[in-house]
Each structure stands twice: as structure tokens, then as C-alpha cells.
Amino acid sequence: MSERRPIVAANWKMHTTIGRAVDLAAEIKNGLADLEGVDAVLCPPFTALKSVGDLVRYSNVKLGAQTMHHECEGAYTGEISAGMLLDLGCEFVIIGHSERRRHCGESDELIASKVRAALAAGLKPIICVGETLEQREQGAAEEVVHAQLDGAMRGLASELSKIVLAYEPVWAIGTGRTATATEAQAAHFFIRKWARQRAGDRYSGELRIQYGGSVKPQNAAELFRQPDIDGGLIGGASLEAESFVRIVQAAAPEEQ
């Protein structure tokens, strides 16, 4: 078991009303009340951040947001800054999710700007990288992930302990198709090797890397047992409290 503290984050995407978000958060909070050794993070929609944040405050469940703007303030109608997220009690923020890259046109350059803004404000970014099925079948998976890492993390080697990386193969997100534990570990090993080349053993060893892509209670334990996988970024399965609680429990240190 790695000395890195596992982290499992729930990405609720554009789901839940405020009432449903609060009910779901309450169930998860109660289910994890006695669990130690894992960072459990809830990332509800912007509309529910305050309500969920109020509910989980002083508990062992942390609050995160699904995205943010790269400027600290200004004439950006509809956008949310890092400072606003901090004001709501957020500790984490997801940056560069494949759905933001695909649907909102987020480039590596923009993602890098968001990462820097998050770190400057005191937020911990969860930076997403991953290849499409077409890229994987062409044998370009490592090349794509390498470019995304370089784009998002340039000049930030000394900040790795404040950052979480999430490897999310796009072909496994919401499809029910999951990378095997062997495939996922190989990708995570590649990412940690990249970090070692950029920052050395100390910082690469501190870096937490999540797996995201159709993680369920049935496959979570096998994935989380891999030496370079430090938890998960969970989508659909996090919308069911019992399911998410079981996934978080699967990431807990074995001595529990």
C-alpha cells in the first residue's frame, strides 16, 4: 500500500437539484462517518455548492467544484472564479475534464491558466488527462497524455504535492467500458514516470493520480490495489450514495 493518501472524488456533472444534492450528500456523509485514511470529495453543480458545503462542513467529506474561470475577476458573464469557490468552502476543483475539452473547447493553454489560478488562490486542482478510443487504437495514447501533461503542468514541478492528476480514458467515461486494472496501471505508471522525469523522485512520489472511467463498486478494489492508482474520479456511480460509499471504502487503507 502506498503512503500516498487515497482520494476519491464524486463528479455529479449537470445532475441534481439543490434538494437532491443535499439528500445525496447527507447519505454519503453518514455512510463515511467512521471512515479514515481517504479523502472523499463531492463536486456538485455550482447551484448546490453552498448547500452541500454547509452540510459537509466539519465532516470528513470535502467540497470541490467542477470547473472555474482562469481570471480572478472581471467582465466574464456567467463565470465563476477561484476566489468565489473558496468563499463557498471549496478545497478542490476539477480542471480539464474531457467533457470540458470536447464540449467547451478548452485547450491545454487554457487549462494551464486555470491550474495556475487555482494554485494561486489556494485551491487544489484535479487535472484530467486521457485519450480517445481513436487515439488509443492508433497507438497514440501515451503521446496524447504526454502532451496534455506538458500543456497543463509546465513550470509546476514543485507544486505536484498540491495537485491531483486524474487519468480518464475518454472511451471509458459513461460507456460502461472500463480499462482493465492492468491497462489503468500502465497508464498511471507512465504518468508517474513523466512526473519523475520533470520533478524527481520526491515530487513524483507525492503526486496522487486517480483513475476515472466507469468505476463501480464491483471493480473499484482491483483498480485501487494497483501501485500507481491513488483513488478515483467517479461520475455516474457517485449519484447513488451506497455505490459511492462502497467505492470510497474500497480505497481505504487495508488496516481499516
Active site residues: 97, 168
- In Å, how far are 84, 118, 250 from 123, measured between CA atoms? 11, 5, 26
Strand partners, 62: 41
Q: At what angle do helices 217-224 and 241-251 cross, to 10 degrees?
A: 20
Q: Where are the alpha helices (DSSP H) in 73-107?
A: 82-87, 98-104
User: What is the CB neighbour count within 10 angstroms for residue 142?
Assistant: 17
Strand partners, 10: 42, 234
Q: At what angle do helices 217-224 and 181-206 cross, to 10 degrees?
A: 50
CA dihedral 185→186→191→192, nearest 10 degrees, is: 70
Do the beta carbons of residue 210 and residue 96 sit within 8 Å? no
Q: How far is the first Cα of the chain from the last one, in angstroms, to the nearest whole number?
A: 12
Query: Which bin fits 211, alpha (ψ -120 to 50), beta or left (φ > 0)?
Result: beta
Do the beta carbons of residue 155 and residue 195 sit within 8 Å? no
C-alpha cell at 112: 494551464
